[in-house]
Amino acid sequence: MSTTIKASCPTCGEVELTPADVSLMVCSTATRSYYAFDCPTCVTEIRKPADDHVVSLLVSGGVPAQVWDLPAEALEAKAGPPLGYDDLLDFALHLGTTDLLASLAAGPAGQPAR
């Protein structure tokens, strides 16, 4: 007999899972722990944060906890402003020039390779 785990899908509402359906990822940084499952109805992968309470509920329901470490760089303070739309646009525009750059590199100046 297996335990039924109730979880909720943002699209379908409450769904019932078995322990085998759920991945419990317990992080060395507790606030980054989460559990994941594929919604049995819409097949979307759902990830939700798992606090201590959720972790112990899932573990007692038979879900094995997988421990992972957050890479140290993820906890580093980031200097400077976050990337914005303009940065993305600049990047996209830059990508649009790479064909030209590549042809300049491939052939003599002024005679793009064909």
Q: Which two tokens stand for residue 23?
A: 């991945």
3-state secondary structure of 19: helix
111 near Zn ion, judged by CB under 5 A: no
Of the pair 22, 39, the CB lying nearest Zn ion is at: 39
CB-nearer residue toward Zn ion: 42 or 102: 42
Query: Judged by CB under 5 A, does residue 36 bind Zn ion?
Result: no
Neighbour tally for 34: CB within 10 Å? 19
Q: Does position 54 bind Zn ion by CB under 5 A?
A: no
Give the one residue of 39, 50, 55, 58 binding Zn ion; rule: CB under 5 A: 39
- Count how many residues are written for the chain: 114
Angle, CA 70 vertex, CA 65 and CA 75 arms, to 5°? 145
The residue ranges that bind Zn ion (CB under 5 A) are: 9, 11-12, 39, 41-42
